[in-house]
Each structure stands twice: as C-alpha cells, then as structure tokens.
Chains A and B, each alone.
Chain A
C-alpha cells in the first residue's frame, strides 16, 4: 500500500462523510451539540485541498499532513482527536514508501493510543475508542490468521461497525454526551459512527486497489 493508496483512502472517506454529513450531525444533535458531520465534512474537504497542494511521497507523509490539517482547520473535540490519530498513524509508518498490512495494523494501534492519551478515554465510555479498539483487535487477529489485505480490512471494518452500534446501549462517560448521564443511552455515539465510516472507506479502497 503506497502513498496513492492512502490518498485514495482519505478521498473516499471524505466522499462518504460528505454524504453522511447530516446523519452524523443528527446523531450529535441527540446527545451533543449538532456539529459533528459539519465539522468532519469541513475537515476532510480541507484534507483534499492540502493533499492537492502539498507533495506527499510516502504513506506516512499523507497521514501526517491529513492529521495536521484536521488539527488546524476543524476545532471542536473531533479536530484534535482525529488529527492526533492520523498523525500518530503517520509517524508510526515512518518514511517507508510501501506499507504492508503489519505496518498498517501497527499504525492503527498508534492512532488508538494517541486518541486514548489525548482524550483520556477507555473502552466502554461511549466514544470513538469503542469503534477503533475492536478494529485494531480484528485486524491483528486477521493478520495472525494469514488473511490478505482485502479480507483483513473487511474484518476490521466489520468490527468497527459492530463497535459503533454497541455504543447505543452505553452511557457516555466522556465528552459532551456525558452531561446527559443515563439519557445518553439509546443513541449511537457520533464519533464512533464516523470512525466506522472512515474504516469502511479503508476496506472499500483496499477492495479496489490492494494487490
């Protein structure tokens, strides 16, 4: 998976986020402040512009540029958290020109660690961690089972979607939804939902492009 693959991933993620913008914002309206879809759509549109304007020869440089762009342009909690995730993933890939599945899994693990450190969130608190953590676990399991990129990333995308839906029954303990206490139960966490979209885009791009 080269730099072109990672650019394609972020482009595809941006397309789906734009299409799901109002859905994500509605999820946020129920338990937050009704800006998640708007902010992420703005952020991924800024990523597209940045990738057009700046050369990104390696997978790591693509993700670091994307992360820095989100931190600079988005605001809210999602800007720093997704920005940190992408930057940590990019740093973990180093300056390799071609990332294999093991490197990709390690980079997602670095992304998860970055999000958890910045947001001080653990699993079960109704946040994006509840989507990302199962994806990392499923990807590592698929790799140890000997799966190829397409199969492994499909497993990760399946786990992230299940993880996002599992947030419906959770009570929020972090972020703005935590202010609602028990009233946060019964709603999907918007950050977990957008994480599922982004990982779904990774699966779809792997299907199209992976060798």
Chain B
C-alpha cells in the first residue's frame, strides 16, 4: 500500500486538520469530527446536515458553505459516522427552523442517522431525514437493502441548500430534496479497486483488462464484471441502465464524476460520449459538472448521474453557492 498518510489510524483527523487550515470559512471540530460553517447558525433558516464515511472527498465536507450544507460529519474511511457526531452537528446548525438530514441509503448510515434524529428530537429539534437512493445498478426490491445513494447526493445537497438559503420551511426543503432524488439516477464503473488505509490491501482484485460495472462508492463489487472496452461502449452500458429506469427526455443536469484516480482528460472523453448519447435520445444537457465530486479513494473509474430538471430545479441549481468544492454566482 502506497499512500500519502502518517498512519492509517490518523487519516481522517489529519485530513480534518488540513481542511481546517485550508478553509477559514469552515469551523472544524477535529475531536468530534464535525465540519460546520464558521459563525453562528442563521436564525430561521433550515439547517442541512449530511455525513457518511470518509474517502469520498470532496463529499461531504467540501460542500459545507453558503447555499449548500451547514454541517458534515465524516466517519472513518468508508464507515458511517456515529450518532454523537450527527447530534453535535444537528445542535450546532439549528437556527430554530428544524434540520434536514441528508442520508445516503446504506444500512449503517440509515441506522446511525435514525438514532441521531431520535436524540435530537429529545432536545426539541425537529429533524426530517431524506434518504438518497439513485444507483440504478442495484435492484430495488424486497430482496435488497434498496438502491445505494451515490451521485445524486451532490444534486440534493446543492438544490435543497439553495432553497433553505431562501428561507423555505423544513417541509418544503425536504420536499425539494426528495424531488431531486426521485428525478435522478446514477451508474458507476471501476477500472481498478481501491485500498482502505486500515485494511492495507485492495478491496477486490480486477485483472489488467477487466472492469467492474455497476459499482458503488466503497470499492464494493458491482453488477457484473466485463472486459475493458472503448469508453463509448462503457458509457453506453451506464446510460442504457439509466435510460431504462428514467427515460432521458427534456432538460437534464448531468454529472460525470471521477472516482478519485481518473485523469480529467479521461472524464472529458466520457463526457463527450455522454453528451452524444443523451443528445441522441432527444434530451438536452443544460447544466453539467465534470470532475471529482463523490470519490472512492484512489479508484480509477467514473460515475454518471442524470437529473431531469424543472425550471424551478434549474433556478435553484444556478443559485449562488460558496463552498470549498462548488462555487459560483457569489
């Protein structure tokens, strides 16, 4: 294992110290592992808290700031945070209008956020959870824990954050968060595995000319394994799966996301294929992101996320945002 770390046990706290040093707009409680906006919570504004395992940076800490999250709770690498962190974050961002918990659909995240919400309600803080589950690679049926939450999390955090910034109520912010989730779908592909620092070796083995299709964001195996083929074919597999689940029509927001170890030049190769495919279906990409937004350590690969926009969602997407990882309009 070759990594730029001091010790596997201190990866998360060392990185949090770096985030604190790099971004004075954030307040970082390194001991309790909570990142909030610097300063007091805005009275009357709904607070947005998200969190999850570390290793997906810039998610979630990189999205704390004006127009997006109020707090993020990073867990250990690929391990959900604990209720104490989420409760501390919820208390810290409560401006009296309630708090939205944005939860990716993994058993651990859901259980820990559920416990935190109960504790917060004992404190008299109203909490509404929204569970993101956009990954079409996973069958959503009685036979699974349900679809995983992946790329749509970025869209949910941005759009719900914009609405909260305008002073909307908790129920309205939760409704738009759910709407974005329902209108979004993702599919991921890995060219290599990744190594959890504390485990010291790759989570799975992939041959030199093999790829894993339908991966999540934790180096977990995907839908199936296949041979390495041109980017156009890989992209078509991903978008076929998305299109089969949510027809590609109208105006769409598209994210081509790197998994952490993919050069930007390859992401643009993929974006070109995505653009051709979606345009070919008669839909129009009116907003896009290309880059590393929800990663899986040093994994090579990408995910593509599509959201069917409405005029309202497009306006909220365009609203000013000022975070370490997304910034425009302000």
Binding site for B on A (CB under 8 A): 25, 29, 31-35, 38-39, 42, 71-81, 118-119, 171, 173-176, 178-181, 183
Contacts and interface: CB of A to CB of B under 8 A. Distances in A.
B219 A75 contact: no
Given A72-B83, A119-B107, A33 B204 contact: no
19 contacts: A29-B199, A29-B203, A34-B196, A34-B218, A35-B79, A71-B115, A75-B80, A75-B81, A75-B82, A75-B112, A77-B111, A78-B108, A118-B111, A119-B107, A119-B111, A175-B145, A179-B138, A179-B145, A181-B144
B266 interface: no
Interface string B216-247: 10111100000000000000000000000000
Contacts, number: 102
Given A74-B82, A179-B145, A79 B108 contact: yes
Given A173-B143, A178-B143, 5 more contacts: A29-B204, A34-B218, A35-B198, A75-B75, A178-B145
Interface in B299-329: none
Given A33-B219, A34-B219, A180-B221, A76 B79 contact: yes
A178 B199 contact: no
B199 A38 contact: yes
A179 B220 contact: yes
Contact of A79 (B77, B112, B221): B112
B145 A174 contact: yes
A24 B221 CA distance: 17
* Interface core residue of B78, B144, B204 (most chain A CB under 10 Å): B144
Given A32-B220, A34-B78, A179-B216, A72 B143 contact: no
B143 A76 contact: no
Nearest to B196: A34
A38 B198 contact: yes
A115 to B, nearest CB: 11
B148 interface: yes
Contacts of B142: 173
> Interface residue tally of chain B, by bracket?
20 to 34
A209 B150 CA distance: 49
B145 A39 contact: no
Contacts of A32: 220
Contacts of B138: 179
Contacts of A31: 221
Contact of A183 (B75, B199, B221): B221
B76 interface: yes
Contacts of B79: 35, 38-39, 74-76
A33 B111 contact: no
* Interface core residue of B75, B84, B148, B220 (most chain A CB under 10 Å): B220
Given A76-B108, A181-B143, A71 B221 contact: no
Contacts of A75: 53, 75-76, 79-82, 108, 112
Contact of A33 (B78, B83, B139): B78
Contact of A35 (B78, B82, B143): B78
Contacts of A72: 82-84
B145 A35 contact: no
A161 B309 CA distance: 52
A35 B196 contact: yes
A43 to B, nearest CB: 10
B83 A71 contact: yes
A42 to B, nearest CB: 8
Contacts of B198: 35, 38
B66 interface: no
Contacts of A73: 82
Contacts of B277: none
B108 A80 contact: yes
B108 A181 contact: no
A176 B217 CA distance: 12
A104 B204 CA distance: 40
A179 B148 contact: yes
Given A176-B145, A179-B220, A77 B108 contact: yes
B106 A176 contact: yes
A71 B82 contact: yes
Contacts of A79: 80, 82, 108, 112
Interface string B71-114: 00001111111111000000000000000000000111001100
Nearest to B203: A34
A77 B107 contact: yes
B203 A179 contact: no
Contacts of B108: 75-80
